[in-house]
Structure 1
Amino acid sequence: MSILTEKFTTKYNSAPFNQIKNEDYLPAFKELIHSSEEEINAIVNNPNEPDFENTIEALAFSGEQLDRASSIFFNLNSAETSDELQQIAQEVSPILTEYSSKISQNKALFQKIKKVYDQKDSYNLNEEQQMLLNETYKGFVRSGALLNEEDKEKLQKINMDLSLKSLQFGQNVLASTNNYFKHITNKADLAGIPEAILEQFAEEAKERNLDGWVITLQYPSYIPFMTYAENRELRKEIALANGKKSFQNDEFDNQKLIVDILKLKQEKAALLGFKNYADYVLEERMAKSPTKVLDFLNELLTKAKPFADKEIEELKSLAKNDGIEEMQSYDHAFYAEKLRKAKYDLNDEELKPYFPLNQVQEAVFGLSHKLFGLSFEEQKDIPKYHDDVKVYEVFEDEKNSGEKTFKALLYVDYFPRKGKRAGAWMTSYKNQYQKDGENSRPHISIVCNFSKPTKDTPSLLTFQEVTTLFHEFGHALHGMLANTQYPNLSGTSVKWDFVELPSQFLENFCYEPEFLKTFAKHYKTGEVLPDEKIEKISQSKTFMEGYQTLRQIGFGLLDMNYHTKVEELESKNIKQFEDYYTKQTQLYPVNPETAMSPSFSHIFQGGYSAGYYSYKWAEVLDADAFGYFKETGIFNPETAAKFKVLLSSGGTKDPMDLYKNFRGSEPKVESLLKRAFGE
C-alpha cells in the first residue's frame, strides 16, 4: 500500500512529500489506474438512463487521486528530479497515456456521453454545466472517439510515442544544460562583471570543489555573464555553448526527436480529420486558425521591424566605439545594458539592492490584498519537497464581516538546483472544485530560478526577475482565486491563448511609480529607490521593445511553420528550417553552429505546440486590460472586482465573453502598439 493511493491525512489534504519514496510511484500509479478504471466502469454499467449527473458530472469527478499522484510526480520531475525519477517517468508516461487513451476511446462511455449531448436541450443546465458537457463531448471527439477501431489503435500508439519522445526531449535539454560549465581562474577574464555576480560564480566553483569562478548555462549565471562580461571571446564561447544545447550530435541531441515529434503530431492531426497539427490545436483556441495567427504575427512584424532596426543601429554605433565592425548576437545583451545605462542611467547591479526577494514577494502579496482581498501566512507544518520551498496559507477577506476564509495553499520555490529545469513556471498540486456542499480549495506552486542568497547578501533580483515573479504570481492568482464547480474548468483550465492574460497583466504594476515606491527599498538602509530611478524604470518599459517583439514573433512563426509544414523537413534539416522561417525576424548574423529549436522546450516538451503566438496574443489582452485600470485608477476597487470575476471563472465561459464582461468591449491590437511604440 502506497501513501499515494490513500486519502492524505495532512492539513488541507496537502501532498505528503516527506512520506513519499521513489519506489512508491510505479505501484501507486498501477493501483490508482485500476481504481479509476473501476469508477469509469461504474458510469458505463449504470443501468439508469444516462443523464448529466450520472455521466458527465460523474466523469468530471472521477480519478481524483490519480490526478493528485500525477501532479505530484510530474511537478517533482521538473522541480526536483533525479536519474531515478527520470527513469520512473519513462516507465510511467506510457502507462498513463495508455490509460488516458482507453478512456477517450471507450465506446460504451462515449455512447452515453453522446446521448446526453444529443439531448442537452432537454436538460435545464446552467452555463457552467453546458460548458462542461460541450467540452467533455468535444474532448472525446478530439481524442478519437468517432474513429474506427484500427485508427483508434493507431492514435493510441501515436499518443504513447509522443509522451515518451516529449519527455526525452526535456531530459536531453536538462542534461545538455547541466553538462556544460566554464571554469575561470584568471580574474582579468571577468572584467566588467559586478562583485555580487562574481561572488555567485565563486560559490558555484566552491560547490564543484574548484578554485576561481564557474559560469553555467543556468539563466542566473548565463544572463549576467552575457550582460556584463567585457571579454568578447568568452562571451562568444559561452553563447556558443548555450546555442548548441542538444544540437551537438551527441547522446543528448534533439534533432531527430524534433522530426519524430512533428511527424507524429501530423499523423495524429490527419487521423482526426485535420489538415495539420496547427489546425487541430487552434480549433480550441481564441485565434481559431493558422491563417489568423500568421496574419496577427505578420501585422506585428510590419509594425515592430522599423523600431527594432532603429534599436539595433543604436547598439551598433556603441559597439563601433569599441572597434567592433560587425556586431553579433552574443554582443547584444552587453551593449543593450550599456545603452540602457546611458539612456536611463539604470544598471541591474545598482538596482538589485533595492529588490531583495523577500521585499518583492511582500509587494506582490500586498498588491493581491489591495486588489483582491488576499492575505498570506507562512505555514511551517505543511510538508515540502525541498528545504528551499516555503508554503503559505492564503486567506480571503470576507466583505463586511472582518472574517477571513481559507482560499489556497501556495508553494514557492525560488532557487536553482541541479535537479530543477531552467526558467520559471506556475503549476498546481490540486485543482479547486465544489462537491457535496464543500468548496475544495487549490494548492498552487510557483517555481523560479533566482540567485541564491550568500552568507553576506540576501537574494537580490534584477528588475527582469522582479517582473518574472509578478508574471508567475499572475498565473498563481488565476489558480488561487478559482471558484468553479468542476476541477477540469477550474483556474488556468482556459483556452491556451487566454492563459497568459493574468500573468502578463500583473507585470504592468512593476512599472507604475505609485506602486514601485511602496517596495523598492535598499535592503541595508531602507532607503526608497530615488524618484528619478523609478521614473527611468517606468520609461524603460518599452526599452528594446522592437527587438523583444521580433524575437517573440520569430519563435511564434517558427512554431506555426513547424506545425503546418512538417513535410518540408524531408528537404530541409532542423537548422535550415529554423533559419528559413525566422529570417525576417533576425537582426544579427546567424551562427551556423547554433540552433534554438533543439532546446525549444515550450513547443516540444511543454504545452505551447502551435501556440507560442499566444504570448503576443495575450499581450494585446493585457495591454487593453491594464489600459482600463489606468483609466479608472490602478487600484480602483470596482475595476479590480470585475477582473477578479474574470480570474475566478476559469474555463466556465468563452474567454472573449469573459473579457467583454470585464472590459465592456473586445480587446484592440492598438492598445499593444500604443504601449509598445507610442502609436
Structure 2
Amino acid sequence: MLKSSSALSRIISGVKNQNTTTLKNILLINSINNNNCRTFKSQKKDPTIPNFELLLTEKNQPNNFPYKHISDESTGLIGLDIQKLTDFDKLMDKAHQNCDNLRNAIINLTEEECSSKKDFAEKILDMSDEISNQLCLFLDAMEFIRCVDPRNPFRQKADTVHSKFSQYLHKLNTDSLLHQKIASVVKDKSFAEYLNPLQQRCLRLLQEDMEKHGGVHQQKEEAKTVELRSYMDSLAYLFSESVSKFNNLETKDAVLVEVKQGEPLYNSKYIFSYEGKQFVRPSYYNQILVSLKDEDTRKKIYHAKYSSSETNLSILDELLQVRDTYAKDMGYPSYSHWFLHDQCARNPENVHKFLTDLAQSIRPKVEQEIDVMRAIKKSDDIYPWDYHLLRSIATQKVEPFSVSVSDYFPLHKVMEGIYSICYSLFGIRLEPVKMTDSETYHPSIRKLSVIHETEGFLGTIYLDLFSRQSKNVEAANFSIRCGKTTIDQKPVTALVCNIDPTVVDNFSAERVYLLSHSEVITIFHELGHSLHIIFGQTPYQNLSGTRTSIDFVETPSQFMEHFAWDYRVLQTFARHYRTDEPLPYSQFEILKKRKQMFTGLDIEEQIMFGLMDITYHSGWPIIDPVTKTKKSIPQVYYDLRKQYSAQPHCEMTSYPGQFIHFSNYGAGYYSYLYSKVFSDHLWYKFYYPLENPLNREAGEKFRKEALCGASKDPTEIVRNMLGEEPNPSYFLKQFD
C-alpha cells in the first residue's frame, strides 16, 4: 500500500526549474538537507553484501557495523530540521512563507519582464513546481510522522500542523488569480511552439488539477470550497482514527463476544475478563474461526469480526455525503466521476465493467473452491462463518510441509536477497547509513543509501519493519520527499511493515527474525514503491516518483512480488538460518499449491470491496426504488454481494464501517486489481519466460519504461510496455 499526501497537493504543481536564480531569490529554506549523507565513491564491480544480520538483529543501531556512509551531525528527524516540538511550527511557517512568495511572484510576473514567451512560461512552471515541492516536503513528512512516530507529543504535533497546513493547501487550490495566470499560458496558441512535450504535459496537468480542485471558482466561492474540502479531509482522518479505536477496543460501542460458563472457550487462553465477565480477545478471532468446531460460537465470532460501531457508520455516512456534495460543487455527477476523470479508468462506468467482467471470468474457479468446502462439510449449506475453518481443513489436506518454511526466511537473508536482486536488475547497492540520534524516532529504524554503479547517490530509504503499539499502519510506503533533478533534490522514502516475527537463538546467541512467506511478499511489494520513488526522478517534482494515477501506481509494487514467487530467484536467498541450505523445491511447490487453493475466493472478495467502494462514491445517498427511502450502508453492500458474489453473505454484519481504506482510497480501491492486471501481463509475457529473470537488460527496460514517474501518461506507459492492450488472461495464470 502506497502512503503519500502528494495526491492531495498535486493540484498546485509545475514542471521545469531552469531559472534556479529566480527560485533562490524567492526561497528562504531548503526544507530537507540534501547533503545529510557522506558517501564514498562507488566502484564498478560486484558489490560485497553488507552484514545485514548484524545491522538488523541488534535492538539499537549497531555501533560496531562497518558503515561506509554517515549522516551529517546536524541531521534532524528523518532528514528534516526537526529536533524538538517547536521546530514543527518553524518548518511550517517557512514553507508557508516560501509558497506565499512564489505565489505572489507568479501573480505579478508579466511578459514584459521576461526575455521571451518561452522565458515567461518556464518561469511560471518553475515557480509553480516549487510551490508543489514546498507543499509536499512539509505535508508528506508530517503524514509520515503522525502515522509512525511512537512519541505521542511528536505524533500529535505532526497531526496538528498537517491539518493546519492542509487548509492553506486548499486555499491555494482555489486561488482564482493563480489559476488565471496558469490558464493564460496554456490557452496561448503558440504554447506548443516554445515548450517541449514534457513541459506541455506538466502545464496542462497543473491547469487541470487546479480546475479539479476549484481553481475556476470566483473569489467569493473560494472560502466555501476550502471549508468543504477541509471538512472532507478531517472526516476521512476521523473515520480512520475511529476504525483504529474500534479495533483496539478503545470505544464504548466495541462489539464483544461474551463467553459464559460451560460454553466453548470459557477460561481458555482466548479470553479476557472485564467487570466479572469473560470476553473473547478480538486478536484471536481469526485463530478461532480457522480451528473451532462449534458452529454457534464461530457464528458469534464472525458477527463480531465483521461488524462495526454505529459511530463508524455515522462518520462514513457523513463522509460519503460530503464527498458527493464536494464533487457536485466541482461540476461532476458524483465523487467517483470527479476522482476518476484523470485516472486510467476515466469514469465509474469503466471501473464497474472492469470489476464485474473480472468477477465473471473467475466465477468457475470460485464455484470450484466452494464445492471443495461443501465436500468437506458434507453439505450444500455453507455459511460465512464456515469459510475460515473449511479452508483451513482443505489446506491441511495438501501434502504437509516437511520443514518449517519460516526457517528459510530469516530477515537478514531476505534483505541480502533484496540487495542482490536490486544490484542484478538495476545496478544499485543498498548501503547502510549510520544515523544521528536526532534523525531516528525509534531504535529499530535503519537507513539505506541507494547508490548506482555509475550514477552515484540516488536517494534514501528508511526501514521501519517491526510492529509496535504506536503504529497506525499495517504495511505502507511513504514518499517523504520526491526527487527534483534541477536542484539536485534526492528522493527520500520509508518502507514500513508490521512484522511480528518469531525470535530464536542461533549458534552465536544473536536474535534471528524468521518471516512468513507472506511477510516476504509484503516487503517486496513495498520495495516496488520505494524503487518507483527512487528511480522516478524528473526535472519536475510534480511528475516525480509515485505521483501518477492511482490505478497505475501499484503496478511496480505488484510486479516486484513476482520475484518472491519465482523459485529461480527465491533459492538465491531463501536459506535456512542455521544450515544455509536453500528452501527445497518440493516445499516451495507445497507453498504454491496452498496459495492457489482459494485464490478465486480471495480475488472475488477484493472485487466486492472494489464494487462497494465505487458504488458508495457514485452518488450518495442511494434511494431504494421501491420504498423511496435511503438505503443503509450495510444494506447497499449486502445487495451488491447478492448480485455479484458466489459466496453467501451475512446480512446482520456491517463490515463497511471498519473498511479503513475509505479514508484514503475513496473511489480508488479497484486500483489494486486494475494494476495487477497490468503487472501480471508484463511478468508472464516478458519476464517469466526468461532463463534468468534477474537480467540487467530486462531490469533496465523496466526502470526506463515503468519507473519514469508521471513524465508519461500511464495509459501510454502500459501500451508501450505490453505492445497491446492489457489482457486479463495473464492475470488468470495465477490459477494454473
Normalised by the size of structure 2, how large is the TM-score? 0.79
- Cα distance in 2 for partners of 1:565, 1:128 equals 36
Matching of residues 143-162 of structure 1 within 5 Å: 143-162=213-232
- Cα distance in 1 for partners of 2:421, 2:354 equals 33
Which residue of 2 is the match for residue 646 of structure 1?
705
* Alignment CA distance shift 1:496-1:454 (3 Å): same
Matching of residues 14-53 of structure 1 within 5 Å: 16-17=77-78, 19-26=82-89, 28-47=91-110, 48=113, 51-53=120-122
Matching of residues 443-592 of structure 1 within 5 Å: 443-454=492-503, 456=505, 458-568=512-622, 571-592=630-651
1:125 to 177, 195, 205: 195
CA drift of 1:171 comes to: 1.0
1:336 to 391, 398, 410: 391
1:379 and 2:433 equivalent?
A: yes
SS in 1 for 2:404: helix
* Alignment CA distance shift 1:130-1:171 (3 Å): same
1:421 and 2:484 equivalent?
A: no
SS in 2 for 1:572: coil
CA drift of 1:8 comes to: 4.0
CA drift of 1:267 comes to: 1.3
- Cα distance in 2 for partners of 1:22, 1:222 equals 39
Contact 1:557–1:582, Cα closer than 8 Å, also in 2: no
CA drift of 1:308 comes to: 0.8
CA drift of 1:672 comes to: 1.4
1:407 and 2:478 equivalent?
A: no
Matching of residues 70-469 of structure 1 within 5 Å: 70-80=139-149, 84=153, 88=157, 91-119=160-188, 121-179=191-249, 217=283, 226-227=289-290, 236=299, 238-244=301-307, 247-249=308-310, 253-320=311-378, 326-346=381-401, 350-381=404-435, 383-398=439-454, 405-436=456-487, 438=488, 440-454=489-503, 456=505, 458-469=512-523
Q: Which moved more, 1:280-289 or 1:103-112?
A: 103-112
Using the aligned pairs only, state the percent identity: 25
Q: Which moved more, 1:520-529 or 1:571-580?
A: 520-529
Amino acid across the alignment from 2:448: Y
Please list the CA deviations of residues 251-293 of structure 1 after superposition, one character each: whole Å capped at 9, or x if unmatched. xx21111121111111121112111111111111111121111
Greater share of helix:
1
1:59 and 2:147 equivalent?
A: no
CA drift of 1:654 comes to: 0.9
SS in 1 for 2:513: coil
CA drift of 1:46 comes to: 2.7
Which residue of 1 is the match for residue 21 of structure 2?
none
Please list the CA deviations of residues 577-611 of structure 1 after superposition, one character each: whole Å capped at 9, or x if unmatched. 221123335455433443221122212x11x2111
Contact 2:525–2:557, Cα closer than 8 Å, also in 1: yes
SS in 2 for 1:293: helix
- Cα distance in 2 for partners of 1:236, 1:386 equals 41
Amino acid across the alignment from 1:100: L
Contact 1:7–1:65, Cα closer than 8 Å, also in 2: no
Amino acid across the alignment from 1:392: L
Matching of residues 565-644 of structure 1 within 5 Å: 565-568=619-622, 571-603=630-662, 605-606=663-664, 608-627=665-684, 628-633=686-691, 634-644=693-703
2:137 to 68, 78, 84: 68
SS in 1 for 2:466: coil
**Cα RMSD (Å):** 3.4
* Alignment CA distance shift 1:392-1:340 (3 Å): same
SS in 1 for 2:342: coil
CA drift of 1:149 comes to: 3.6
- Cα distance in 2 for partners of 1:461, 1:224 equals 18
Please list the CA deviations of residues 504-556 of structure 1 after superposition, one character each: whole Å capped at 9, or x if unmatched. 11111222121121122222332322221123334455331210111011001
- Cα distance in 1 for partners of 2:364, 2:413 equals 39
Amino acid across the alignment from 2:388: A
- Cα distance in 2 for partners of 1:623, 1:243 equals 31
CA drift of 1:236 comes to: 5.0
CA drift of 1:557 comes to: 0.6
Amino acid across the alignment from 1:128: L
Contact 2:149–2:155, Cα closer than 8 Å, also in 1: no
Amino acid across the alignment from 1:278: S
- Cα distance in 2 for partners of 1:366, 1:223 equals 36
Amino acid across the alignment from 1:577: V
- Cα distance in 2 for partners of 1:230, 1:458 equals 35
CA drift of 1:150 comes to: 4.2
* Higher RCO (C-alpha under 8 Å, 6+ residues apart): 2
- Cα distance in 2 for partners of 1:336, 1:469 equals 26
CA drift of 1:450 comes to: 1.4
* Alignment CA distance shift 1:62-1:153 (3 Å): closer
CA drift of 1:372 comes to: 1.1
Amino acid across the alignment from 1:423: E
- Cα distance in 1 for partners of 2:153, 2:374 equals 48
- Cα distance in 2 for partners of 1:329, 1:114 equals 54
- Cα distance in 2 for partners of 1:189, 1:408 equals 55
SS in 2 for 1:567: coil
Please list the CA deviations of residues 163-222 of structure 1 after superposition, one character each: whole Å capped at 9, or x if unmatched. 1111111111111122279999x9x9899x9xxxx9xx99xx9xxxxxxx99554xxx76
Contact 2:309–2:657, Cα closer than 8 Å, also in 1: no
Contact 2:617–2:667, Cα closer than 8 Å, also in 1: yes
Amino acid across the alignment from 1:467: I
Please list the CA deviations of residues 609-656 of structure 1 after superposition, one character each: whole Å capped at 9, or x if unmatched. 111111111111011100111234423333222111123311001112
Contact 1:632–1:639, Cα closer than 8 Å, also in 2: no
Which residue of 2 is the match for residue 209 of structure 1?
none
- Cα distance in 2 for partners of 1:665, 1:82 equals 50
- Cα distance in 1 for partners of 2:537, 2:389 equals 46
Contact 1:8–1:16, Cα closer than 8 Å, also in 2: no
CA drift of 1:4 comes to: 10
Amino acid across the alignment from 1:617: Y
CA drift of 1:117 comes to: 0.8
Contact 1:352–1:460, Cα closer than 8 Å, also in 2: yes
Contact 1:4–1:24, Cα closer than 8 Å, also in 2: no
CA drift of 1:241 comes to: 3.7
Q: Give the count of matched residue pairs.
A: 639
- Cα distance in 2 for partners of 1:10, 1:237 equals 57
SS in 1 for 2:234: helix
* Alignment CA distance shift 1:86-1:409 (3 Å): closer
Which residue of 2 is the match for residue 208 of structure 1?
none
